[in-house]
Amino acid sequence: MPIVIAAAILGGIGFVLGLLIYVVQKYFGVEVDLSVQEVEKLLPRYNCGACGYAGCQEMATALLGKQAVPKQCKPLKAEDAVTLQAYLDEYYKNKK
């Protein structure tokens, strides 16, 4: 019988904590712009800083904000630059 009581107490604690996590996420959660991650995947991800930004994530954010162009990324291959530019063109078109 004591093991059933212990399991019930642990189950109750787990339920309350799960509910608390849900409520905190719902009211304090931050929405993430997945397009930054998509652009970052199209970059070489060397985080070299040759573009003038601290890393590829900042470069991706700048690209989406039209503050940078793909050719600023020195290690980016020409065919990858075309793919990246096509993605950015589609992003800008859908953003309007």
Give the pLDDT confidence of 10-50 residue by residue, as tens digits: 999 999 999 999 999 999 998 877 999 999 999 999 999 99
Name which of 78, 91, 74, 75 is nearest 39 in CA terms.
91
pLDDT reported for residue 31: 83
Indicate the average pLDDT of the chain.
Answer: 94
Contacts of 92 (CB under 8 A, 6+ apart): 66
Tell me the C-alpha distance between 80 and 77, whole Å: 5
Chain centroid to CA 89:
20
Per residue in 62-93, pLDDT tens?
999 999 999 999 999 999 999 999 999 999 99
Tell me the Ramachandran region of residue 93: left when phi exceeds 0, alpha when psi lies from -120 to 50, beta otherwise: alpha
SS3 label, residue 20? helix
pLDDT reported for residue 96: 67
Biggest CA–CA distance in the chain, Å, is 70
